């Protein structure tokens, strides 16, 4: 009597676990290097994978087996190590980004509504209009559905969102492996001890490459913990001047000469409101205007700390984002979006787990809100080195920001805190060449990126402030003039290396923090006030900022001409007259911007 498929599977998993245990014991006894240990265990896993018994299936049509690689890493991404084979019956939510039928038209519309000199300026699209432009072509839907059906997936159970351009389906590791010609495994991060189910390579049938942009989770390894932005913090023993002390020393609000010297070392909301000329503005459109703050890693708005912060620094009115956004924009409503972490992975579990890809989870949630509930301004102080994000994934996420810009929202990201690059700055494409490391999503052309400065009565570029040139995205038209001028002055410097203290309350005590994670909410607060003014005048919000700040609004910034952002064994880029990669256009002057673009 033949054994049932279930009993075969039980015997298989038992043998597999015993085998894996012996392999790891052997590796430990051999005292191999980390790379050799990974090669040994990978080879052992592959050898053992061949005889796995499967239930007989109807052969797939030939064209579904004609694979072409969609994305592959040359090695396991830095910081991660192979932990164990993924259980074949482990289930997860697979998300597939379909080719968007009229995305070029969406980008055209985005630039039209964001260009102050275009007749459509400020006439942002509706959600229905955006979804109509990103909806996949009917042929794409038909071909992809045929592929899913061939793998036994009921297409009526597939969730379709964002105009049908993103679909979500429940699959097992075994199914995903067959569909994508991939080998899923369980990987562990050395520093965070996180475990994720990923693959170092995935493919699609050739006929699908013109219909599918990205499949997740596949080769994007970064998680909520590994992509967390850096705050440069230190605890201080004595409290510095509070806002009442500083405001009493302000002789002429908006004049840099009037900002007290203490603001050179201890930045509070009063310092920032004076420095960026917002101290005399009182928000008027607080019923319509909101600012959103993105938080990850189970972070949340700490109301106790926020209360302590306001009592100390903004009596008229946690974490660094909420405190400085609130300190500048009060009483404008702030909305904190907390994206939770992923539950622990249990190898033999059949329970779906979070795919743990925070950008996609978060943006999908925002796009599902009613348009009236989407904040006009967003501050996000998180990022990854661009090269650690697969190009197909980065492009798809960047395109989602374009949709939100077309709807009328301004997205502001911190540039990062690694200068022109942290670590060894080596490329991960197998060449190990030294190259500057831009940050994503800061490198996306559809968001606005903020670096950092220090000092008051002369601001200087912060040395840790990231900034540079994307290796993924082409130079947008709105930057052409500014960047060309800078490159002409730069000459051959850094050739080949690039592609063409704030006070917060943490845990109830005062700490000093810096980093572009602090700059981002500060600038976002200024933009939120500009949106408040526009809405109070019966106008629309600013939406996608870059086209207007590089044109009509360029005179509303204080040019920063000192400092640099060293890294990768170089001085990095120098701040200079006009636009530069470390300080961009400079720091905002609210009163000037109010007159220029308000």
Each residue of 64-107: pLDDT tens digit? 999 999 999 999 999 999 999 999 999 999 999 999 999 999 99
User: Whole-model pTM?
Assistant: 0.81
**Rounded Cα–Cα distance for residues 360 and 357 (Å):** 6
The first and second tokens of residue 507, run together, are 């845990």
Query: What is the enclosing helix (H) or strand (E) of 77?
Result: none
DSSP 537: T
The residues, ordered by sequence, that sit 6+ positions from 352 with a Cβ below 8 Å of its Cβ are 91, 92, 93, 170
CB-based contact 447:413 (threshold 8 Å): yes
CATH homologous superfamily of 261-336+358-597: Peptidase S8/S53 domain (3.40.50.200)
pLDDT tens for 207-244 read 999 999 999 999 999 876 555 444 444 433 344 444 44
**Rounded Cα–Cα distance for residues 388 and 42 (Å):** 21
CB-based contact 149:155 (threshold 8 Å): yes
The residues, ordered by sequence, that sit 6+ positions from 503 with a Cβ below 8 Å of its Cβ are 240, 266, 267, 268, 313, 510, 511, 512, 513
- Quick one: residue 496, left, alpha or beta (phi over 0 = left, psi -120 to 50 = alpha)? left
CB-based contact 498:434 (threshold 8 Å): no
Q: Partners of 57 in the beta sheet?
A: none
Residue carrying the six token digits 């840099």: 256
Query: Which of 562, 565, 560, 561 has the alpha carbon at shortest distance from 437?
Result: 565
**Rounded Cα–Cα distance for residues 500 and 435 (Å):** 12
Packed helices 320-329 and 516-536: angle between N→C axes, nearest 10 degrees: 30
CA angle 458, 462, 464 (to 5 degrees): 175
CB-based contact 276:588 (threshold 8 Å): yes
pLDDT tens for 387-403 read 999 999 999 999 999 99
CB-based contact 217:198 (threshold 8 Å): yes
Long-range contacts of 5-10 (CB under 8 A, 24+ apart): 5/53, 5/55, 8/53, 9/53, 9/89
DSSP 538: T
Q: What confidence tier does 466 reach under pLDDT thresholds 50, 70, 90?
A: confident
Q: Phi first, then psi: what are they for 493, rounded to 5°?
A: -60, 135
Q: What confidence tier does 339 reach under pLDDT thresholds 50, 70, 90?
A: low
The first and second tokens of residue 366, run together, are 């925002």
Q: Partners of 68 in the beta sheet?
A: 204
DSSP 561: -
| Known binding residues | 559-560, 578, 580
- CATH 3.40.50.200 residue ranges of the chain are 261-336+358-597
Task: Count Cβ atoms within 10 A of the Cβ of residue 104 and give its class: 0-12 exposed, 13-18 middle, 19 or more buried.
Answer: exposed
Expressed in percent and rounded to 5, the helix, strand and coil fractions of the chain are 35, 20, 45
Mean pLDDT over residues 362-369, rounded? 92
Q: Phi first, then psi: what are they for 126, rounded to 5°?
A: -90, 165
Query: Which of 409, 299, 305, 406 has the alpha carbon at shortest distance from 358?
Result: 299
**Rounded Cα–Cα distance for residues 272 and 108 (Å):** 36
Lowest mean per-residue pLDDT among 1-5, 96-100, 405-409, 489-493 = 1-5
Q: Which residue has the higher pLDDT, 509 or 473?
A: 473
| Known binding residues for Ca(2+) | 559-560, 578, 580
The residues, ordered by sequence, that sit 6+ positions from 355 with a Cβ below 8 Å of its Cβ are 92, 93, 95, 216, 217, 342, 361
Mean pLDDT over residues 339-349, rounded? 48
**Rounded Cα–Cα distance for residues 359 and 355 (Å):** 11
**Rounded Cα–Cα distance for residues 503 and 521 (Å):** 13
SS3 198: strand
pLDDT at residue number 133:
98
pLDDT at residue number 61:
82
pLDDT at residue number 303:
43
Res 20 pLDDT > 60 = no
**Rounded Cα–Cα distance for residues 274 and 268 (Å):** 10
**Rounded Cα–Cα distance for residues 162 and 127 (Å):** 9
Handedness of CA 288, 289, 294, 299 (dihedral sign): negative
DSSP 445: T
**Rounded Cα–Cα distance for residues 542 and 226 (Å):** 32
Q: What confidence tier does 533 reach under pLDDT thresholds 50, 70, 90?
A: very high
Residues in the chain: 598
**Rounded Cα–Cα distance for residues 215 and 419 (Å):** 32
Res 317 pLDDT > 70 = no
Q: What are the residue ranges of helices labelled H in 31-62?
A: 34-49
Q: Partners of 267 in the beta sheet?
A: 502
pLDDT at residue number 241:
45
Q: Which residue has the higher pLDDT, 503 or 577?
A: 577
End-to-end CA distance of the chain: 81
Q: What are the residue ranges of helices labelled H in 468-579?
A: 480-490, 516-536, 546-549
pLDDT tens for 129-184 read 999 999 999 999 999 999 999 999 999 999 999 999 999 999 999 999 999 999 99
Residue carrying the six token digits 């996949």: 136
């Amino acid at each position: 009597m033949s054994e049932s498929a279930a009993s075969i599977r039980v015997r298989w998993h038992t043998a597999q676990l015993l085998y894996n245990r012996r392999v790891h014991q052997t590796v430990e006894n051999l005292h191999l290097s980390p790379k050799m240990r990974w090669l040994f265990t990978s080879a052992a896993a592959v050898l053992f994978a061949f005889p796995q018994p499967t239930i007989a299936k109807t052969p797939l049509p030939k064209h579904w087996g004609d694979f072409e690689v969609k994305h592959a890493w040359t090695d396991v991404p830095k910081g991660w190590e192979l932990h164990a084979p993924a259980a074949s019956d482990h289930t997860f939510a697979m998300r597939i980004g379909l080719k968007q039928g009229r995305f070029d038209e969406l980008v055209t519309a985005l630039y039209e509504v964001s260009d102050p000199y275009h007749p459509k300026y400020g006439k942002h699209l509706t959600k229905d209009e955006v979804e109509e432009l990103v909806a996949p072509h009917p042929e794409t839907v038909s071909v992809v559905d045929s592929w899913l059906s061939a793998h036994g997936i009921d297409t009526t159970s597939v969730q379709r969102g964002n105009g049908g351009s993103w679909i979500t389906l429940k699959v097992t590791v075994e199914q995903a492996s067959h569909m994508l010609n991939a080998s899923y495994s369980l990987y562990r991060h050395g520093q965070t001890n996180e475990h994720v189910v990923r693959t170092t390579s995935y493919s699609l049938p050739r006929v699908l490459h013109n219909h599918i942009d990205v499949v997740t989770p596949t080769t994007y390894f970064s998680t909520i913990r590994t992509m967390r932005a850096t705050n440069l913090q230190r605890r201080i023993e004595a409290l510095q001047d509070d806002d009442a002390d500083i405001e009493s020393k302000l002789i002429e609000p908006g004049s840099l000469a009037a900002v007290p010297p203490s603001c050179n070392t201890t930045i509070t909301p009063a310092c920032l409101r004076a420095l960026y000329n917002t101290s005399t503005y009182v928000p008027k459109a607080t019923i319509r205007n909101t600012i959103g703050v993105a938080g990850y890693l189970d972070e949340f708005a700490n109301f106790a700390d926020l209360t302590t912060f306001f009592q100390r620094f903004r009596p008229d009115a946690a974490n660094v984002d909420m405190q400085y956004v609130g300190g500048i924009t009060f009483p404008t409503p702030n909305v904190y979006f907390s994206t939770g972490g992923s539950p622990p992975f249990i190898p033999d579990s059949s329970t779906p787990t979070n795919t743990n890809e925070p950008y996609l989870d978060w943006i999908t949630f925002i796009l599902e809100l009613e348009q009236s509930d989407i904040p006009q301004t967003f501050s996000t102080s998180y990022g990854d080195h661009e090269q650690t994000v697969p190009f197909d994934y980065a492009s798809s996420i960047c395109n989602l920001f374009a949709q939100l810009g077309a709807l009328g929202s301004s997205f502001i990201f911190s540039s990062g805190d690694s200068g022109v690059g942290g670590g060894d700055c080596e490329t991960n494409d197998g060449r190990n060449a030294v190259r500057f490391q831009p940050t994503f999503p800061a490198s996306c052309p559809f968001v606005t990126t903020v670096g950092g400065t220090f000092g008051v009565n002369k601001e200087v570029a912060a040395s840790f402030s990231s900034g540079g040139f994307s290796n993924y995205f082409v130079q947008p038209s709105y930057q052409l003039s500014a960047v060309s001028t800078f490159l002409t002055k730069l000459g051959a410097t850094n050739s080949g290396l690039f592609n063409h203290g704030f006070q917060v309350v943490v845990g109830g005590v005062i700490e000093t923090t810096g980093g572009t994670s602090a700059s981002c909410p500060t600038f976002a607060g200024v933009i939120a006030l500009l949106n408040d003014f526009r809405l109070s005048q019966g106008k629309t919000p600013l939406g996608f900022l870059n086209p207007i700040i590089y044109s009509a609004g360029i005179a509303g910034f204080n040019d920063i001409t000192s400092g640099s952002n060293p890294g990768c064994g170089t001085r990095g880029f120098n701040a200079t007259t006009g636009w530069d990669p470390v300080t961009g256009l400079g720091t905002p002057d609210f009163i000037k911007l109010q007159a220029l673009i308000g």
